[in-house]
Structure 1
Amino acid sequence: MFKANVGSCTSTNAFEAGKTAGMKAAEGLSNPKVAFMYSSVAYDQDELIKGVKEAMNGVPVIGNTSFTGVITPEGFITGDAFVGIMAMEDDMTVGVAGMPKGIDAITTGEEVAKKALENAGRTDSPNYFYMVAPPGEEEFYLKGITKVVGRVPFFGGSAADNTISGEWKLFTDKGSFADGVAVAFFYTDKKFANKFTGAYNETNKSGVITKVVGNRVLAEIDGVPALEKYAEWSGKNTKDLLGMNLLGATICAPLGVKDRLGDLVAIRHPMNGNEDNTMNLGNNIAVNTAIIYMEGSVDELISSTGKTLNELKEKLGANPGAYHLVHCGGRRAGIDSRIDEVVKEIKDAAGDVPFIAEFTFGEYGYEQDGINTCGGLMLSFTGFSK
């Protein structure tokens, strides 16, 4: 039967923290098949992994650094040093693989998928998979993986640090790296569900993307410089949106793009306002598609966590064995000192089901029959049935 357990530690000694959290997560489990781990950037991640391997020898580990902390049934685990681990066991096969970026992101995605198949001892596509990458090229790693296994439901999030300065790491039990991708392929007959949402409110302010530079620089909306159009929609002055000011100003008022059937609005977080009135976004966009001005209060950001978890339970339609919760780090920054309210929302909705929540700089998921996709300022909540 499916079982999961969660452990955490705040020791500043990386090896001891990994060992302690690993031992706690392994309690009551006889044969864990995989362990998700999320940690502070303050650690030497390779020492942390050594500690986990001391506690759970032979168990595949996968994860990344998390923004400011993690949430477990114990509460919000934070501080200069923290690590949270959720180990899972069942009659299932899990193939974990990770590698630094090679020639390009698509090729690396293909290679990591092939390695995960090899590590699982399988040649067929998994029932679902988990992915972690750094912020920047998530969509291209996904394209590479999809070339190998086809469209398979997935979930996950992008590695984060505390200062948006590139200190993040992702890792498996084989080691850590800053740029690359890691996956866990799951083979099981148990139910799985993912709820992927921004939980923002759609407004009637929208326009057509008429110019993009590269993949993530929004240059024009309806032929108007993007920062000017955003300032018009938000009632702000463009000068107040320059540089990193834009990132904070848009947490409660981001942009969104709809999928082709309108089932999902994937959030696009404006990250930086440029002097030429273009803006850098956290995910890819395309010319001649619509972009929407979205809104949400801090109260709604908080309440959406419990609401989304309850929606996930309904979507799973089976007795839940564990929850894996990806929560955007930007949302967490906007929530700020009210994070304990999020803890209460999640714990009330989860009940006695084990869970771990990480804070990321990008979130991955899908809605119904739509393709897998990536977004920012979103929640990607996943449930595994017993």
Structure 2
Amino acid sequence: MVALKSFAASGSTENVLSDLSLHIADATIKPNLVCAFYDCDHDDQAILDFLRKEFPDAAILGGTSCAGIMTEAGLGGAGSIGVLLIEDADGDYGTAGVRLEGDAADCAERALHTALENAGCAGELPELIWIYQTPGQEEAVIEGLRRVVGDRCPIIGGSAADNEVAGKWRQISQGGVMTDGLVVGVLFSSGGIGFMFQGGYEPSGESGIVTRVVYGSAGGSGIVTQSCGRQIVSIDGRPAAEVYNEWLGGVLAEKVEAGGNILVDTTMHPLGVDAGKIEGITHYLLVHPDKILENGVLSTFASIEEGTRLYSMRGEKARLVDRAGKVASAATATLSGGLSNLAGGLVVYCAGCMLAVGDGMPKVSQAVASSFGGMPFLGCFTFGEQGAILNKNAHGNLMISAIAFGK
């Protein structure tokens, strides 16, 4: 039998932990896994020490989330901390943290093996892998995990966030607090797990082929290892920023000339990659452009391969509000028994979407709560989202992931 409980409060770290302690004392639950997400202004070490003391036998994972969290009780808001407790005496759970130093893929592979050992399941295939990491090397992390599990196991999670894209994001596991790390959780649930990974945007009509990217080398060898990267030089043989600006009707003209940050300007107008069709409907993996660099180079929050067709996408506030609930419903529908078998869930909602939705965010938490039938859930707001789409694990931006835990 699987049982979930969520707790949330806002204020100073000391006051929130005191409040949470009272709620936890009244809860009849002994968690095997504890997920904790919180505003970046909180004291990470105090949070981790609290969780270790309260739940000495539980696996721990989490980190910072942009402007707080959400639960079935509503939006936590600035200064909030949220905790999700998962009790599953017949399941197995393990986590491991590692700093992403050197080859990120190697680091991820090592962390996965350690997490499996900590779960007492070395060499076994988890039902799901949950990850929380520093932004920047998400594709390499997925590559390292896929060396072990391929696409036989969904990899779901997010990239830790702060409140101002200032690099103040952190990650926690029972091993400690990290600013440049990865936490890997392996879940062997006795009640089953459903999941979904989608975006809330549609194509606007324009598209083009990526004809050149800036890509790096492996370590200090100078050897190019892949023709993909996070700086798009050209689309259809022309400067990428110029083409993208034309797709957006010229709204970026000044920044095409001078360069600069375009993160806010492009939240409702990302790029999309065709991920394939489900029941005849094309699904897109979204990519968020963040800067225009010298010579019209377009910087993005996800890696793009040369030869990829990029689609201009558009979003609306109302669609982003509704989509979270639909993704939660879709995740629940994939669970054996559907809503009647739901114990609760985890949700990853892009921080860029959250900031764009603004005062509509209470409706987002309400939509998720309704889709989960009022069962406990915890949601975080991230600077990158990972999930399985059409049986392939991938990293995207402006996306939503939902996990539904069966009873």
- Same fold, judged at TM 0.5 (above): yes
Match of 1:257 in 2: 273
More strand by percentage:
2
1:336: how far off?
A: 1.2
Superposition map of 1:44-83 within 5 A? 44-79=43-78, 81-83=79-81
Tell me, in whole angstroms, the C-alpha distance in 2 between the residues paired with 1:169 and 1:361. Answer: 12
Q: Aligned pair 1:274/2:290, yes or no?
A: no
Partners of 2:194 and 2:335 within 8 A in 1: yes
1:202: how far off?
A: 1.9
TM-score, length-normalised on structure 1?
A: 0.94
After superposition, the C-alpha distances for 1:4-38 in whole angstroms (9 at most, x for unaligned) are 00011223134x53464366357534431101110
Tell me, in whole angstroms, the C-alpha distance in 2 between the residues paired with 1:93 and 1:374. Answer: 26
Unaligned runs of 5+ in 1: none
Tell me, in whole angstroms, the C-alpha distance in 1 between the residues paired with 2:260 and 2:400. Answer: 23
1:321: how far off?
A: 0.9
Q: What is the SS of the residue equivalent to 1:146?
A: helix
Partners of 1:210 and 1:222 within 8 A in 2: yes
Tell me, in whole angstroms, the C-alpha distance in 2 between the residues paired with 1:161 and 1:244. Answer: 20
Tell me, in whole angstroms, the C-alpha distance in 2 between the residues paired with 1:326 and 1:26. Answer: 27
Q: Aligned pair 1:349/2:357, yes or no?
A: no
Partners of 2:344 and 2:404 within 8 A in 1: yes
Q: Aligned pair 1:365/2:387, yes or no?
A: yes
Distance 1:157 1:23, change over 3 A: farther
Superposition map of 1:79-94 within 5 A? 79=78, 81-90=79-88, 91-94=90-93
Q: Aligned pair 1:158/2:159, yes or no?
A: yes
**Percent of residue pairs identical:** 28
Q: Letter of the 2:97 partner, please give it.
A: G
Tell me, in whole angstroms, the C-alpha distance in 1 between the residues paired with 2:41 and 2:364. Answer: 24
Choose which of 303, 309, 317 in structure 2 pairs with 1:284. 303
1:118: how far off?
A: 1.3
Q: Aligned pair 1:229/2:243, yes or no?
A: yes
1:315: how far off?
A: 2.4
Tell me, in whole angstroms, the C-alpha distance in 1 between the residues paired with 2:104 and 2:126. Answer: 21
Unaligned runs of 5+ in 2: 216-228
Tell me, in whole angstroms, the C-alpha distance in 2 between the residues paired with 1:44 and 1:93. Answer: 29
After superposition, the C-alpha distances for 1:219-243 in whole angstroms (9 at most, x for unaligned) are 1111111111111111024434455
CA RMSD of aligned residues (A): 1.9
Match of 1:130 in 2: 130
Match of 1:220 in 2: 234
Match of 1:12 in 2: 12
Tell me, in whole angstroms, the C-alpha distance in 1 between the residues paired with 2:260 and 2:158. Answer: 22
Q: Letter of the 1:5 partner, please give it.
A: K
Q: What is the SS of the residue equivalent to 1:259?
A: strand
Partners of 1:5 and 1:27 within 8 A in 2: no
Partners of 2:2 and 2:190 within 8 A in 1: no
Q: What is the aligned residue count?
A: 383
Q: Letter of the 1:229 partner, please give it.
A: V
Match of 2:226 in 1: none
Superposition map of 1:175-186 within 5 A? 175-186=176-187
Q: What is the SS of the residue equivalent to 1:49?
A: helix
Q: Aligned pair 1:201/2:192, yes or no?
A: no
Distance 1:349 1:188, change over 3 A: closer
Moved more, 16-25 or 180-189: 16-25
Distance 1:192 1:13, change over 3 A: closer
Q: What is the SS of the residue equivalent to 2:295?
A: coil
Moved more, 272-281 or 323-332: 272-281
After superposition, the C-alpha distances for 1:107-132 in whole angstroms (9 at most, x for unaligned) are 10111011112111122121211011
